[in-house]
Amino acid sequence: MARQEYFLQGTTPSAATEKTRARENWTQQGWFRLLALIILLEVFMPFLVWPVGIPRFVLGAIEAGIGLVILVAFAYMMKEDRVPMAVLLIAGTTLIWGLISAFEGQPLAATAWGWWGLFKYPLVGIFAYLVQGWPTDFARTFIKFTVGLLIFEFCVQLVMLALGFPTGDSMGGTFGNKGVIQFTMLVFFAVSLAFGHWLATHEWKLLLLVLVIGMIGTTLSTTKFYLIGTAVLAAAALITHMIRGGQIRQLLFYVVLLVGAAAIVLPLYNNWMVETRGLKPLQEYLTTDALEGYLFNDGISDGDYTYNIGRGLAMTYAWQQIQRDWTTTLFGYGLGTRSQSTFLGVRGNVLKDDVYGVGTTSLSTWLQEFGVVGIGVFLAINLWIMLKLFRFAGATSDPYQAALAYGIFLFTMFWPLWLWYQKAWLAGAMMTLYWVSLGYTFNLIYMPGRRKQAARRRERPNLL
């Protein structure tokens, strides 16, 4: 916590006054303004491009804002002569898979763009980890802000609907044209935090609010995956509740509550989908033929004439592509080989010859770029993060810190699902919130130990 100094003579400030001044202090600090800048850019810049109509190149402001935060983080590391282990992991990944892409004849510009897309948000998390001035009530403020942002995006959807915008891909709030994936991943992150809040406090009102807003918002955007994603999050939350020592009677109560809510919501959802959108009821999408057609679809999009392949086919195709030899199977084609930037005019080597173009998911892209070893490393890192978060959530005395840790724990658990569903790694608003909260939580986990080490170093006698 940053030092708070009050130059008052003869008076003792009230607790409310001290709290107000503390909040004013940290909101005026440089680190907070940098993070706020990224959030504002991620949320509003796509809206300025569509539907306002500002030229698309202004989206480069988002990359510039993130780049500024990363530069500040590296400057701090150089000043303090302290490099987090995560930076060494990034350096090792860059070296290994950068060399592989070089051996594949990959242009340096394409490799650099692939590196940027992979690591820019984790580096924002490292910046958050390095911050020394986190306020004591930041976890509570962060959860409220995330839920407030979801409510704001939902209100924007309602305004767009009233103005005559069609439901579907255009109903992404402020995230612009085809910004549904951005909105959907924000919904899932907020739902994860709401389940985390329930695990930490057993309060259900916030969870109910987020679930209802998420349901209506994703219905407007016609995101049928919301029900599946929420179901797996609910199951994981209930299992976590039992692992923590929760009572079976409580578990049965919440199971009955969720089943009852589903029995009420699903008929309403189906009626709206059929009458308003002209789509089939949800249960018709769960048949064997429908699932096979969805997962292994191999058609051309009517909008941009690119292949719109199913997610199952994307993974199958990615696996087939890395069967060239055992080295490619293990390590893929290298960093950035399936990445592209139309603005910079760079395109990865593998993507150039790919019949399906960029119409695949993050997980299938990663399988081709990093192979089995790369996917395994990613899963191992997630498992380590989850263990740290679960232990911290059970140890902290602050219910909001526990709620935040449980929420990030649940969201991290399903990274393979999010990446399989869409290009979730590029959902900027959610990614910024996720990595900032993760960096903050790991700051809480490791900062006391670092402070003790620094104190011991100061107490050592100088023998020179």
Domain residue ranges in the chain: 88-446
| Contacts of residue 424, Cβ cutoff 8 Å, sequence gap at least 6 | 181, 185, 362, 415, 418, 430
Pairing of strands 298-300, 307-309: antiparallel
Classify residue 309 by its DSSP letter. Answer: E
Classify residue 51 by its DSSP letter. Answer: I
3-state DSSP assignment of residue 341: strand
At residue 419 the predicted structure's pLDDT band, cuts being 50, 70 and 90, is: very high
For residue 338, pLDDT over 80 is answered with: yes
For residue 254, pLDDT over 90 is answered with: no
- Alpha-carbon 192 to chain mean position: 11
For residue 9, pLDDT over 60 is answered with: no
For residue 173, pLDDT over 70 is answered with: yes
| Contacts of residue 348, Cβ cutoff 8 Å, sequence gap at least 6 | 106, 110, 114, 336, 337, 338, 339, 340
Tokens read off for 434: 């996720």
Work out the average pLDDT over 453-459.
53
Please name the helix (run of DSSP H) or strand (run of DSSP E) that holds residue 308, with its range, or none: strand 307-309
CA distance 288 to 225: 17
Enter the pTM of the model.
0.90
Taking phi over 0 as left and psi of -120 to 50 as alpha, with beta for the rest, 81 belongs to left
Taking phi over 0 as left and psi of -120 to 50 as alpha, with beta for the rest, 106 belongs to beta
For residue 300, pLDDT over 70 is answered with: no
pLDDT digits (tens, 9 = 90+) for 84-106: 999 999 999 999 999 999 999 99
Rg (CA), the chain: 23
CA distance 456 to 303: 64
CA distance 217 to 224: 11
For residue 456, pLDDT over 60 is answered with: no
Classify residue 425 by its DSSP letter. Answer: G
Tokens read off for 408: 């990030």
Q: Scanning the structure block, which residue is given the tokens 């109910």?
A: 208
3-state DSSP assignment of residue 396: coil
Contact 369, 338 (CB under 8 A): yes
- In the prediction, which pLDDT does 461 show? 47
Contact 422, 362 (CB under 8 A): yes
For residue 67, pLDDT over 90 is answered with: yes
- In the prediction, which pLDDT does 168 show? 87
Task: Quote the mean pLDDT of the chain.
Answer: 86
For residue 230, pLDDT over 80 is answered with: yes
Q: What is the 3-state secondary structure (H, E, C) of 289-302?
A: HHHHHHHCCEEECC
Work out the average pLDDT over 338-349.
85
